[in-house]
Amino acid sequence: MHLFDVARRFYGGHAIVGGGLPMAVGLALAASLRGEPQLTACFFGEGAVAEGEFHESINLAALWKLPVLFCCENNRYAMGTALARSESETDLCVKAASYGVPAWPVDGMDVRAVEDAAKRAALAIRGGGGPVFLELRTYRFRAHSMFDPEFYREKSEVDAWKERDPIDRLTRELRDASLVDDAGLTDLERAISAEIEAAVGFAEAGSLEPVSELGRFVLSDPEEASP
């Protein structure tokens, strides 16, 4: 959740629901003021749409025509609360469009549909059209956390959505188009597993943050802030 890597232009996950939205608007504003051709993509769940940060952020982005791509991953449940129990308007594109922002629903279980929508949105934003909102309609197969008993949904609902698994769907499409075979898939899965194992091994072999560093950046440091 708290990953951050400027070299890869990844500006962090945030523990507070909706916390990344104002940061995304700030990054887009900075790029706009500097005349830099950058686009800021911000990912958040449908639960964040009920937060004040969402409304403040999308309003400013629309008002100032900032280059922000709002990607809402609507998986129907914010932790354990169904969308209909937390939102009076469950069509999230309607909410985004009320701010004058182009808003498109996308089948979030279709890899190619998501790619096509993202490309279309990026072209519109880079063309100076201001922000775009994508509602990626998807589903969470697993519990929210290890402490989640999942009393809020039926197992049959989860099983029904698993029939639309985006990885399985893309695999079938690639097979049907003769773009991949069983041997190619096996090699790909092995390479992915090796990459994951290497990443986990690197993390486990790393050292813990020194206690002396725990308070760093909690308050501003005049010495570090000086040029």
Provide the residue type at 102 as one letter: P
CB-based contact 104:133 (threshold 8 Å): yes
- The arrangement of secondary structure in 6-149, i.e. its CATH architecture, is 3-Layer(aba) Sandwich (3.40)
The whole-number mean pLDDT for each consecutive block of 10 residues of the chain, a chain of 227 residues, reads: 84 88 96 94 95 97 98 95 93 97 97 97 96 97 92 95 96 93 94 97 91 82 64
- Residue 209: per-residue pLDDT: 84
- Round the CA-based radius of gyration of the chain to a whole number and report it: 20
User: What is the C-alpha separation between 70 and 65, in angstroms, rounded?
Assistant: 13
Which backbone phi and psi does 57 adopt, to 5 degrees? -70, -50
- Residue 227: per-residue pLDDT: 56
Burial of 142 (0-12, 13-18, 19+ CB in 10 A): exposed
Domain ranges of the chain: 6-149
H or E segment to which residue 154 belongs: none
DSSP letter (8 states) at residue 88: S
Half-sphere exposure of residue 114: CA atoms within 13 angstroms, side-chain side: 16
SS3 150: coil
- Residue 132: per-residue pLDDT: 98
User: What is the C-alpha separation between 73 and 91, in angstroms, rounded?
Assistant: 13
CB-based contact 18:30 (threshold 8 Å): no
Nearest CA to 186 out of 202, 175, 176 is that of 175
CA angle (168 as vertex; 162, 173 as ends), nearest 5 = 135
Tell me the whole-structure pTM to 2 decimals: 0.88
SS3 162: helix
CB-based contact 61:107 (threshold 8 Å): no
Half-sphere exposure of residue 151: CA atoms within 13 angstroms, side-chain side: 2
User: What is the C-alpha separation between 22 and 55, in angstroms, rounded?
Assistant: 10
Nearest CA to 134 out of 149, 119, 150, 152 is that of 119
